[in-house]
Structures are given as structure tokens and as C-alpha cells.
Amino acid sequence: MSTKSVVKKAVISSTFATGIVLTAPLMVDAALGDQPLKKGMNHPDVKELQEALRAKGYFTFHTSTGFYGTITEEAVRQFQRTHGIQTTGVANTSTLNLLLSSNSQNRQATNTQIASSSTTSTSGALAQTTGLLRAGSQGQAVTELQERLKEAGHFNHQVTGYFGRVTQSALRDYQKKHGLTIDGIAGPQTISHILGRTTASQASTPAQSTPPPAQPAPTQTTNAVPASGTTATTNTQVLRIGASGATVTQLQEALKQLGHFDHRVTGYFGSVTHSAVRSFQRSQQITVDGIVGPQTLRAIEAAANGDTKTVQSERQIKSDTVTAQPSPPAQQGFNVMNLIADAADLVGTPYLWGGTTPRGFDCSGFIQYVFRNQGVSIPRTAAQQWAAGRSVDKPSVGDLVFFQTYTNGPSHNGIYIGNNQFIHSGSSTGVTVTSMSNSYWSQRYLGAKRLH
């Protein structure tokens, strides 16, 4: 998973009452430590460094961004001071080795216990997993997954309980070898195959030593995306970029019927299908992520059957409860969560003075672009946006927060995403997530405005 994708999930999850496990891994894979890390770097290893420092209580910023700035540098300095090594703020080899060593010791006993139980029973954490394990996941299920991949000869590193790039690569190798969908994600099919294979390989009786079929996954419906007038049967499959087959063909046909897919039906889930899914999700005011999970699948079925009541009911699910109370949309079709999702999708876009497109944004150009995608027309500059909005005492998710920087009055702004965080296009960072408690921004905060 790219750093941009991780940050996007962190942006969206900051507005939810229940945390998403993808945004809070506690350990790092062995990839961290391959190179020294220092201020100014933007790299996946930096994110893993931040997570490792968070696990030790040194990195307290809400989101691990992958950018090595002053907050990360100070966290490294504190770690170095505490452990009596040279305080440089640079995560060099000795610092990283010490950090990784202390992390692994903290969980060694737990990992050993879990590993022991996972090799003798299929009723452990992995078998009980109901969701997907992917880059960013952590916990006992990931520990067991790593143990089983190690047994199968695909994972040759220390078991950490954190699903990072090394685990993802090992899982892809396993999937490739056994003819499974190669996506680096442990879903029902892959987990079932891993559990079935390891159980069979450990059995002592000849009758149980025969390897299972190549894909002993639970029976999957071939009518995952129903046509108009049909009712969906139970389906656990999640469709995303890289998927292919009959279910993707049916998805494309359904989206074409609903007016969101205007290309040739291919049966392959690529960028065009991804955009079509996002278009449909936006039209239904459900979470816009381009992934066809249970919520989107039911919404497609309902729309194909003309059941608007079902579509409406699917717009609210328990895990999508917003922490900060969002303001009610003032315009038809506006959805604050889709606004945040679109903004998060642009994390990593470079800063460009006067920029108004994904090739580069300045602060107000970024905001104007994101609001326009939601059908809301707002002025161009930060000062104009300040003048056009109505003041609020305390920002809610989707409100604009303004700052006084290089000149008197509002000269910089961003979109509030909850938990005292805002997303903006900074001149030195591009589109990123920042805390309003940051000493620089807190001293320059002017107030919040609502433009929707």
C-alpha cells in the first residue's frame, strides 16, 4: 500500500467514532532499517519509523504521514536521549537497530505463544477473521498469518504482528504459487487456502496428507452483481483494481445500465471501472473509495431494481458515525464524507502557486477544486472564501479553517476533518494533513467558516 493510500485512510478515519485498524499499526516489518532516515525525506520507511516511535510513546502526531518533518525529528531526538545515544534527530543505523530491537523484545513472548497455538489449530485468530488483512493491519491474526507463511516457506523474517511490505510480498508469492488472485490481501479465499493447506500438511494420517485443491475457498456466488429485477445471494467477495472474472463483468454491466460505465465490458477491474464505481458511490452519497464491498454491492442492487428506499438506508452504517457533528448539507446532493474522501484522494499532490488542478494546487485552489467536485461553487482566493462563508464558533467536519500567514487577514486555509486536524495544500508539503495544535498553525489561526 502506498503512503498516499495510508494517509487517505487516516484522513477519513479521523472523522469516524470507531478507529480503522489500517491507520494504527503498532509494529514494523524488517524493511525498516535498510537506510538512514532524516528530515526532509518522504518515504514509506518514514511512516514505519513513525509507527515504531508511536508504539514507544515518542511520536504523538495523530497521523503517520511518511514525511520526515520537525515532529518526527524531535521524536527521534527524544528516543535517542532516552537511550543514551548521540542526539542528532537522524534515524541512523544504530538508532533504527535499537528501536527495532526494543520493539521486537516487547512482543516476543506474545508472538511465541500465538505462534504455538496457530500451528496446532485452525480455530485461532486467523480462522476467526471476518474482514480483510492487508498492508497496515496488525494483531494476532496477522501474527498467525506470518507464522503460516513462514511454514510454507514464503516469509523469512521476524514475526511482528504487523502487515507491512514484507508480509505483503510474502503473501503475493504464496498466492502466485497456489494459483490464487495475486493482490497481496488476505481475504476469505486466501485465508481458507492457507488454513486448509497448513492443516493438511500437519496431519499425521495418510488420508489427510493429500494436498487440498488449488482453491478450496468458500463457495462464491456467480451473481455477485445482480442484474435488474434480481436479488443478490450471499457474497463475501470484495472487488477492487486488479480483480477480474465473471463478477467484474456483471459489475460493469450493472454500472453501464445505471449510466456510470460507458466503455466496453472487459471483465477486468481497472482504472476506468474504479472511476465508474466512484461515480456511482458519489451519486448514492455513500463512501467514495472505488471499492465494491457489501455496502456498495447492495446499493448497486437496489439502484438496478429501482429500490430507492434501500439505497437511502445503506447511506448510514455504524462504522461511519462521525466524531464531530457534521453540519447538515445546504445544497442538494452534497455529502460531507464524500468531500473528505475526495480531498484525501489528493494527498501528495504538489503545491503550485496559482494551481487549481491535480497537477498542483495552492491552498484555495485545492479547496475550490474539491468543493466543485461536490457540486458546490465557491470563490477562488482564501480571502474571498473567508468573505463568502458564514462564521462558526467551532469547526465541524467539512468547514474551512483559516490562518494569517504572510500578510494580514486570511491568507491560508484548509478543510477541517475532525480530531483537530485539517487537510490543506501547504507551500512546503503539498496536499497533506496537519494538526491545528501545531505551534505554527495554532498561533496563526483566525477562525472557521461554512461554505456548504
* Known catalytic membership, residue 412: yes
Which residue in 193, 260, 274, 424 is the catalytic one? Answer: 424
Nearest alpha-carbon partner for 315 in 346, 336, 330: 336
Which residue in 154, 260, 274, 412 is the catalytic one? Answer: 412
Which residue in 193, 274, 363, 452 is the catalytic one? Answer: 363
What is the set of active-site residues? Answer: 363, 412, 424
